[in-house]
Structure 1
Amino acid sequence: MNVENWRLKIRRKHNELNSEDLSPVSLTRYSEFSGVKRKRDTLEIDENMSDNSSDFSKRANFSAITSNGINRNLNILNLKPTTTKKIVIKNLKSEPKLPDDFREQTWGKLQEAVLAIQNSRANEYSLEELYKAVENMCIHNMAHTLYNNLHVLIDNHVRRNIEQFLAESMDRFLFLKKMNETWQAHCRQMIMIRNIFLCLDRTYVLHNAQIASIWDMGLELFRQYIMANTLVQTRIVEGLLMLIEKERQGDTVDRTLLKSLLRMLTDLQIYEKAFEEKFLVATERLYAAEGQRLMQELDVPDYLAHVDKRLIEENERVYHYLDANTKPRLIHTVEKQLLTDHVTNILQKGLDGLLEENRLNDLSLLYSLFGRVKNGHTELCTAFNLYIKKRGRTIVIDPEKDKTMVQELLDFKDAMDNIVATCFNKNEKFSNSLKEAFENFINQRTNKPAELIAKFVDSKLRAGNKEATEEELERLLDKIMVLFRFIHGKDVFEAFYKKDLAKRLLVGKSASVDAEKSMLSKLKQECGGGFTSKLEGMFKDMELSKDINVAFKQHLSNTSQELSAIDMTVNILTMGYWPNYPLMNVVLPEEMVKFQEIFSKFYLSKHSGRKLTWQPTLGHCVLRAKFKLGMKELVVSLFQSLVLLLFNSHDELSFDYIKGATNIEDGELRRTLQSLACGRARVLNKIPKGRDVEDNDKFRFNNDFVNKLFRIKINQIQMKETTEEQKATEERVFQDRQYQIDAAIVRIMKMRKTLSHNLLISELYLQLKFPVKPADLKKRIESLIDRDYMERDKDNPNHYNYVA
């Protein structure tokens, strides 16, 4: 028979035994191989080994399961072939009888061991022997008595230990150290005692839910004598609060002691009731006083740093010794006393300064701390908005800052954007508030910001602008477009931008065609094609003019007319696209007049039905001038050219003569002579000398003129735009707005047929893209009624009817 069949036979026999009705008896073990004796278990094993297994020598392990569920191993060693073995396990005829003094002797041994542990003495019994003694008492139904006796021992010991803390004269710190030593000793003792009485814990206690485990018994007794004695508990809590207060004041304390005692309160389940509430009250009282005092003493950056430091310290306390469940209430208390109660004062006292000085680290900390406060970010966002409006208004309203307004606005916008991105975590609420604030203050001064932004763009797109590369110029235009979006009166910007663009294109002052077209594309994307249609038309005129000039030069080369060596370039401008320029009839040299006539015939022959009107105010020339030290080229306006050409035949001329010979308007002529005789490049000498041109002045060609450059640009002195030209541009904008209002009113009335005054005004505000006053709208309505586009309702004068 092989080993596997042998095991199956044993298993079948074992199952037969388990099916019998057996009653529990005491367990007796025998180590002999001939048999294993157990509680009413009988097991027989017959084995006939085959002849061919003569060399078989194995160890087999068998398991028999007794009626009380305990596994025992049967070890069979050196099984020899061709032999028969029988193992018989029989019931005891009677249970073994315990000695009469078994309980007293066993408990005495255990009591002595417990006392030795409690008194830190050596124990004469081995741990195995003590464990076996507890097991035997539990097996023989003495667990209840054993548990009660152990309870008495521990109770007496704890009671004696607590009595030493009732003396009031003990120093607080020594009291805490002594209490910690007692607690640590108690824990060690209870662990050792539980190890000995482990069988009691796992049998008797486990099957009696109303009885506390040995460890819980020790905790309950320790808690009972602390809770029962108000003095002991009060001194522990007050001592802990004293140590924590010292640490908050900067002193070094024993954190290990704090951690151990607070863990004791937690284990004893009195942490919240005995300590936490008092601790939070003390914390609130401390930080309330500290917050009031430091808000008066410290600047906002220092105060914020102190609050942040305090929060870090309190988090460390939770990490090192406080219970983790204390953290939410503790941090909330600190935040309330140092932040929540002072939000308004912090913002009023320090936000403007932080923003003004661009204190990024302090602003980041402010944002982080206010995020801990309910509605803290909302309060911060509101104060941020008010600062931007106040600071921006000082830039826009002050006329003395007009020259630097746009650059200051760009710098201010960059600074605020950087703060939102860096310090306010790109919070969308702050971004929207920033935009609203800029839109608010930039429109508090009607039309002026739009005008100055247009002029700023002009200064950056001029050929003389060498401040930036193309990439930097492109980024600058993007920033300018951000300011442009905030402007309500975009038509004002268009009027001034159009006027300046015309000058750049006609005089050739544009820095880059790509930059010009890029700006035009940005405006088109922002405002639509209707806004830029005229501007695009100006570029088309310039491109067509180039083709016309090429054709004209070819035409001249094919004619036999004798012409002076003048290289003339003509720009053909469509009247509707370009600004309106005042007509001025000046006296031109015969050579120029002849060129004009030839060009007019050439152009009108190709474009019949059109009319050419010459604009001398837009002309410019390059003159070759011979001075004593050599030839120079002078880049001048047409008016400057007409004046200088007079000196080809005269050495000295009076103001009146020049005026009569050129027919230039008086004010324009004075500015022209001033630029030639009083500027940096003085090609004329004024007699007498002075900065202003008077009626009796005389002018002489300056043959001694010296300049290191060969080509010299002499700028025309411009009349200040703050008077006539500005008013003229604003008047054109006003006229255009009236046309737009009229068109909008007619469009609405044509669609609605009948409408009340209030509803009509509301519709107009929705459609018009520029700021307008109700009084202006009312005037336009009255004008349309007078012109019979609409009429008042006869039954209800507050309603209007459309007249078809």
Structure 2
Amino acid sequence: MAEDTRQDKRTGFSPLTEHNTNGIARTSALAPSKTGASKKLVIKNFKDRPRLAENYTEDTWLKLRDAVGAIQNSTSIKYNLEELYQAVENLCSYKVSPTLYKQLRQVCEDHVQAQIHQFREESLDNLSFLKRMNRCWQDHCRQTIMIRSIFLFLDRTYVLQNSLLPSIWDTGLELFRIHIVSDGAVQKRTVDGILEQIELERNGETIDRSLLRSLLGMLSDLQVYKDSFEERFLVETNRLYAAEGQRLMQERDVPEYLHHVARRLEEENDRIVNYLDLSTQRTLINCVEKQLLGEHMTAVLQKGLSTLLDENRVTELTLLYHLFSKVKGGLSTLLQFWRDYIKSFGGEIVCTPEKDKDMVQDLLDFKDKMDNVAHSCFTRNEGFINAMKEAFETFINKRPNKPAELIAKYVDSKLRAGNKEATEEELERILDKIMIIFRFIHGKDVFEAFYKKDLAKRLLVGKSASVDAEKSMLSKLKHECGAAFTSKLEGMFKDMELSKDIMIQFKQYMQNQSEPSNIELTVNILTMGYWPSYTPMEVHLPPEMVKLQEVFKLFYLGKHSGRKLQWQPTLGHAVLKAEFKEGKKELQVSLFQTLVLLMFNEGEDFSVEEIRTATGIEEGELKRTLQSLACGKARVLNKNPRGKDVEDGDRFNFNNDFKHKLFRIKINQIQMKETVEEQVSTTERVFQDRQYQIDAAVVRIMKMRKTLSHNLLVSELYNQLKFPVKPGDLKKRIESLIDRDYMERDKETPNQYHYVA
């Protein structure tokens, strides 16, 4: 075959002929001809690869070295870059790669070593030094990239096939690290300068962030970032924020301090985004959080949590929770202080008798406030919500019985007629909130006793604001405490409904009487076990009333034989028709007021003693009754002498000059404030009921177990009883049952009890 002696037009360096470099003959099968015979093309007689021209390697390297030098000195390159690239490819093709790699490394190393002198200048300030270092680094990176572009074939063939050899780029980094950055004085001054710039920025000054980003990127690329910079940086950061935390805790109040910490954390995160290595983020932020928060958690909470909660500083409380959630043990510490605050604040509400009047409203407001903090500021954290419930349950039971009593009275005030404070929807929400407070109370039987007493008044005197509201409250109590708790209360409503049916029948009965009465009588029949016990009071009723009572008694007992009726005049009320100079009026009054007013049909002037003798009303009740008729807003009686209080020597006469814009006037009986005796009486009834329940529980347990130790019996009782009880009270009840022969002590082991069948 003929030789192709064409000159390579690309390089101008290599007068080489193009041949198959392997010198191996190849055969190729051709498609069959029309005749069906196949032909083969045989290629043979390849020439051996020609040798390089003499001095070609040395001449080519000199040109390549000149080009590298021009790049390093930032001067123009004499040769075309494509020519230089082809020259490298040619040298590599003739196994000159190891020598070429070593020569290139040596040239680069000599150049880098020569750069160190510019960093020895002592007169440079730190910022100028950093700028010079950055300029040197940028030049080095640019030069290395250009050099690699020329020696790319070497990098992609020889270096890539030798795993132990660093690439040209890595070689450039290695040389810069060894001869520049690893120099002790240079490295120290570089890091000192960077730390100085960061400290200036932390103190509020403006710095060149792009300079720091470049230099820290250099340290990271050279793999000396952690050892040379990060360790010192974190030490300085610890020192700075430790001192700052100590100082600011003394100088600033907690809200200011929290905002400062948040700002510092934001600044440090911003530094990570802008120039620090991302690997520093966790340790840096942990450092700031530890020094500004972790070291001062207790101090922050002692100094400021109460103030933040008292003033309802929602923004700062949210920030406090957010910051403390970042610190180890932060939330658990905050949780404990939150619990202690609730116990302390709530305990003051409950245990201060002077605040009893507003106790329940204060508790509701306090609960609303803490709920808002838990939901809005503490992200509905279940631990904080549970801690709040525990704290409420603890402080509300520090004062036995009183909160339960006052909650019952608060409910009474909301359900009583004349309460214009809330719509039906608002009233429902109030009752729901009350039930939340009610759940925390241990002595629910105390609540039941006072609630039942107030409910009876509302039902019997017709003062209930809404039957729907009453039944809604009853439903809530039943859902919370069970059917047994509300059975008597439900019985009261049932009595009222049955009484309405009985009165319809009684009116029909009266219409069939030969002598119909001119008095319309309404009677409520109360089942004794359902209603509070009332002390019977004998008063002198007019003959007409007595006669009508007997008629009703005859009617009722005729339908229900074997029953006994006991009249309760203290709860009675009436509507009287009265004539004044102004005209006729109707007076809606209590039965006691009725008895007093009816006396003035028989005379014009009476003394207190005369009225007491005629009516039989107890002295204290009579004075309150006279006070309501003569000293209130509707003065249908005149008192002589005038005054707010009724004395024994006072006399009363009918006020014929009485005037009022309404036709029917309701004269409220002056309610005697619940006396200490009445409160004690209600509480004693509860205590008596508890004794019965304890006795029943002891007998029930002993009947089942037959024999039991004292400690196990007490433990069982605590599990069964639904009210708080002291060990001493249990011991007294056990002794009482032993005395009554329900159980006996073991003769050999006095601490052991046996059930007596």
Aligned partners of 1:37 and 1:90 also within 8 Å: no
Match for 1:551: what amino acid?
Q
Q: CA deviation at 1:768?
A: 1.4
707-716 vs 143-152, which moves further: 707-716
Q: How does 1:141-540 map to 2 (within 5 A)?
A: 141-540=95-494
Q: CA deviation at 1:719?
A: 1.9
Aligned partners of 2:91 and 2:97 also within 8 Å: yes
Equivalence for 1:79: none
Residue of structure 2 aligned with 1:605, choices 550, 554, 558: 558
Equivalence for 1:641: 594
Aligned partners of 1:28 and 1:38 also within 8 Å: no
Equivalence for 1:753: 706
Q: CA deviation at 1:706?
A: 2.4
Equivalence for 2:631: 678
Equivalence for 1:64: none
In 1, the alpha carbon distance for the partners of 2:183 and 2:549 equals: 119
Between the aligned residues of both structures, percent identity stands at 67
Equivalence for 2:735: 782
539-548 vs 756-765, which moves further: 756-765
Instruction: Provide the secondary structure at the position in 2 that maps to 1:567.
Output: coil
CA distance 1:37–1:323, shift in 2 (3 Å): closer
Instruction: Confirm whether residue 626 of structure 1 aligns to residue 579 of structure 2.
Output: yes
Aligned partners of 2:21 and 2:49 also within 8 Å: no
CA distance 1:46–1:335, shift in 2 (3 Å): closer
In 2, the alpha carbon distance for the partners of 1:726 and 1:354 equals: 39
Instruction: Confirm whether residue 693 of structure 1 aligns to residue 677 of structure 2.
Output: no
Aligned partners of 2:350 and 2:395 also within 8 Å: yes
Equivalence for 2:674: 721
Residue of structure 2 aligned with 1:40, choices 5, 12, 24: 24
Match for 2:541: what amino acid?
L
1:153-173 per-position Cα deviation (integer Å, ceiling 9, x unaligned): 101111112221111111110
Equivalence for 2:608: 655
Equivalence for 2:536: 583
Aligned partners of 2:254 and 2:304 also within 8 Å: yes
Q: CA deviation at 1:119?
A: 1.0
Aligned partners of 1:27 and 1:39 also within 8 Å: no
Aligned partners of 2:17 and 2:50 also within 8 Å: no
CA distance 1:548–1:48, shift in 2 (3 Å): closer
Match for 1:256: what amino acid?
S
Equivalence for 2:52: 98
Q: CA deviation at 1:49?
A: 8.5
Match for 2:594: what amino acid?
S
Equivalence for 1:556: 510
Q: CA deviation at 1:794?
A: 1.2
Aligned partners of 2:25 and 2:46 also within 8 Å: no
In 1, the alpha carbon distance for the partners of 2:70 and 2:748 equals: 114
Match for 2:609: what amino acid?
D
In 2, the alpha carbon distance for the partners of 1:628 and 1:121 equals: 127
1:28-78 per-position Cα deviation (integer Å, ceiling 9, x unaligned): 549xxxxx9984344568679989xxxxxxxxxxxxxxxxxxxxxxxxxxx
Aligned partners of 2:488 and 2:529 also within 8 Å: yes
CA distance 1:366–1:46, shift in 2 (3 Å): closer
1:730-779 per-position Cα deviation (integer Å, ceiling 9, x unaligned): 11111111111111111111111112222222222221111222222121
Aligned partners of 2:25 and 2:42 also within 8 Å: no
CA distance 1:193–1:702, shift in 2 (3 Å): same
1:599-651 per-position Cα deviation (integer Å, ceiling 9, x unaligned): 11111111011111111001011222222223322221110111111112322
Residue of structure 2 aligned with 1:128, choices 60, 77, 82: 82
Aligned partners of 2:639 and 2:652 also within 8 Å: yes
Aligned partners of 1:37 and 1:91 also within 8 Å: no
In 2, the alpha carbon distance for the partners of 1:28 and 1:49 equals: 35
In 1, the alpha carbon distance for the partners of 2:468 and 2:17 equals: 107
In 2, the alpha carbon distance for the partners of 1:251 and 1:378 equals: 38
Aligned partners of 1:180 and 1:261 also within 8 Å: yes
Q: CA deviation at 1:124?
A: 2.2
86-95 vs 244-253, which moves further: 86-95
In 2, the alpha carbon distance for the partners of 1:38 and 1:284 equals: 68
Aligned partners of 2:691 and 2:733 also within 8 Å: yes
CA distance 1:103–1:316, shift in 2 (3 Å): same
Instruction: Provide the secondary structure at the position in 2 that maps to 1:403.
Output: helix
Q: CA deviation at 1:597?
A: 1.2
Equivalence for 1:110: 64
Q: CA deviation at 1:722?
A: 3.3
Instruction: Confirm whether residue 732 of structure 1 aligns to residue 685 of structure 2.
Output: yes
1:238-278 per-position Cα deviation (integer Å, ceiling 9, x unaligned): 00000110111111111111010000001101000000000
Aligned partners of 1:624 and 1:631 also within 8 Å: yes
CA distance 1:791–1:94, shift in 2 (3 Å): closer
Match for 2:24: what amino acid?
R
In 2, the alpha carbon distance for the partners of 1:571 and 1:27 equals: 131
1:315-365 per-position Cα deviation (integer Å, ceiling 9, x unaligned): 111111111111111111111100110001001000000111111111111
Aligned partners of 1:621 and 1:637 also within 8 Å: yes
1:453-498 per-position Cα deviation (integer Å, ceiling 9, x unaligned): 0000000001111111111111111111111111111111000000
Q: CA deviation at 1:138?
A: 0.4
Instruction: Provide the secondary structure at the position in 1 that maps to 2:754.
Output: strand
1:500-553 per-position Cα deviation (integer Å, ceiling 9, x unaligned): 000000011111111111111111111111111110100000000000001111
Equivalence for 2:696: 743
In 2, the alpha carbon distance for the partners of 1:432 and 1:516 equals: 31
Q: CA deviation at 1:437?
A: 0.8
CA distance 1:584–1:93, shift in 2 (3 Å): closer
In 2, the alpha carbon distance for the partners of 1:164 and 1:551 equals: 120
Unaligned regions of 5+ residues in structure 1, if any?
1-25, 31-35, 52-83
CA distance 1:696–1:151, shift in 2 (3 Å): same
1:137-163 per-position Cα deviation (integer Å, ceiling 9, x unaligned): 001111111111111110111111222
Aligned partners of 2:262 and 2:323 also within 8 Å: yes
In 1, the alpha carbon distance for the partners of 2:239 and 2:676 equals: 68
Aligned partners of 1:682 and 1:702 also within 8 Å: yes
CA distance 1:302–1:91, shift in 2 (3 Å): farther
The alignment covers a number of residue pairs equal to 741
283-292 vs 324-333, which moves further: 324-333
In 2, the alpha carbon distance for the partners of 1:562 and 1:355 equals: 70
Residue of structure 2 aligned with 1:767, choices 703, 712, 720: 720
In 2, the alpha carbon distance for the partners of 1:460 and 1:27 equals: 111
Instruction: Report the TM-score when normalising by structure 2.
Output: 0.95
CA-based RMSD of the aligned residues comes to 1.9
